[in-house]
Amino acid sequence: MSLARLAIALATSLCCGGVAIAQDYPSQQIRWIVPYPAGGGADNVARVVTQRLSQTLKQPIVVDNRPGGNTIIGTQALLSSPKDGYTVMNTAEQVAVNASLYPDLKYSAQSDLEFVAPLVRTPLVLLAKPDFPADNPAALVAYMKEHGDRVTYGSWGQGGMNHLTMEAFADRVGVTPMHVPYPGAAPAIQALLGGQIDLYFSDPATALPHIRAGKLKPLLVSAKDRLQTLPDVPTVQESGYPGFDLYSWQGVVAPKGMPPQTVQALARAVRDTLNEPAINKELLERGFLPDPGTPEQFRESFLRSQKALGDIVRKRNIRIQ
C-alpha cells in the first residue's frame, strides 16, 4: 500500500472510530452528581431531566448528591472521576462565583471543566412575611432606606446566588441590610416563616406553595421578565432599576478531556430532552425556565456569569467567613 493510500485509510479509520464512540455512548450506567442536598432546586431539575434522559439513552442514570463547601465537594468528586462521560455533574452558578470567593481554590472551573449543556434558568422571587410593612417595590425601598441594617435577609449560604442577588439589589438601592446565612434553602425559609428574618430571595419552586397558602408574599422578581407563575409580581428592572437581570442557572459539566464525540452526544440528548413538551411543561410549572443549548453557548454564558458575579463579590466586598 502506498503512503498516500495508507494515510487515507488511517484517516477513515479514525473518523469512523469517532462516530462509533458517539454511537456507542452510553453503554453503561451514568453517575449524575448534584453538589447540593436532596430536595433543593438543583436536585429537582436533575431528577426531572434524568428520569426522561435515561429512557432516551437506554441506560440508568443515578443521581448522587454530594453537598457541601459551596459545590466544592461535589466538583472535586467530579474532577477525580474518569473522563469518559460516565460521571457528570448538575452544577449551578456557584461554580462560576467560587473563583472570586476562594482565592486558594485548587481547581479552575474555566480550564478544568467540560461545559456539556445548559439546563435551566431560574429567576428568584423576593419574599416577605404577610405582615411585612411594604407591599410594593416603592414601599420596600423606602422601608429599607429608613431602617438600614435593621432589615435582615437570609440566604441558602454565603456566596450563594440569592445572597449575591440581594447584595446587587441593595447596591442599586443604596442600602446595606444585614445578611443572615443558613445551611440551605429549607432552614432559611423556616426562618422567614418564623419571623427571624425579614426578606429572602427564593427559587419559585420553593416559594410557590407558601405564596399560594398565604404564608409569604412576593415583592419582586430578579430577572428582566415576569414569571408566568407569578404574573402580577413586578421585576426589579421595571421597578426603577434598569438593566437588573439576575437569575440562578443550572447546567451539565464533566471533567475536562471528555471525548468530543461523547460531549456532543450527551449535549444533543439533553437538548432533545429539554425540548420535549412534557418535560418543558413540568419544568415551567416548577418555576424553572428550560434553556436548551450547545456546549459552546453554555461556555459563553458561563464566562458572562463568572464576570458579572465576580463584579458583585468585589464591589460589595463579600468574604466567606
What CATH number did the domain enclosing 89 receive? 3.40.190.150
210-263 tens-digit pLDDT: 999 999 999 999 999 999 889 999 999 999 999 999 999 999 999 999 999 999
Question: Does residue 38 sit within a domain?
Answer: yes
Does pLDDT of 123 surpass 60?
yes
Residue 316's pLDDT band (cuts 50, 70, 90):
very high
What is the dihedral sign for C-alpha 301, 304, 310, 316?
Answer: negative
Look at residue 286 in the predicted model and tell me its pLDDT: 84
Question: Does residue 16 sit within a domain?
Answer: no
Does pLDDT of 7 surpass 50?
no
Output the domain CATH number for residue 136. 3.40.190.10
Q: How far is CA 298 from CA 97, 153, 159, 172, 239, in A?
A: 16, 31, 22, 28, 30
% of the chain at pLDDT higher than 90: 81
Helix (H, G, I), strand (E, B) or coil at 101: helix
Residue 194's pLDDT band (cuts 50, 70, 90):
very high
- Both 209 and 311 in one domain: the answer is no
User: Cell digits for 186?
Assistant: 429549607
% of the chain at pLDDT higher than 70: 93
Question: Does residue 94 sit within a domain?
Answer: yes
- Both 195 and 223 in one domain: the answer is yes
Residue 10's pLDDT band (cuts 50, 70, 90):
very low
Residue 133: phi and psi, rounded to 5, are -60, -25
Look at residue 35 in the predicted model and tell me its pLDDT: 93
Q: How far is CA 313 from CA 102, 121, 159, in A?
A: 11, 21, 8
Report, as an integer, the average pLDDT of 118-142.
96
Question: Does residue 64 sit within a domain?
Answer: yes
Residue 156's pLDDT band (cuts 50, 70, 90):
confident
Does pLDDT of 16 surpass 50?
no
User: Cell digits for 270?
Assistant: 439533553
Counted domains in the chain: 2
Question: Does residue 195 sit within a domain?
Answer: yes
Q: What residue numbers bound the domain in which 168 lies?
A: 125-239
CB atoms within 10 A of CB 242: 11
Domain final position from 239, 256, 278: 239
- Both 180 and 253 in one domain: the answer is no
Question: Does residue 15 sit within a domain?
Answer: no
User: Cell digits for 82?
Assistant: 474518569
- Both 116 and 256 in one domain: the answer is yes
| Axis crossing angle, helix 94-101 with helix 295-315, rounded to the nearest 10 | 40
Tell me what the pLDDT averaged over the chain comes to.
91
72-112 tens-digit pLDDT: 999 999 999 999 999 999 999 999 999 999 989 999 999 99
Residue 157's pLDDT band (cuts 50, 70, 90):
confident
Question: Does residue 12 sit within a domain?
Answer: no
Indicate the helix (H) or strand (E) that contains 210. helix 204-212
- Both 256 and 116 in one domain: the answer is yes
Does pLDDT of 277 surpass 90?
yes
User: Cell digits for 292?
Assistant: 436548551
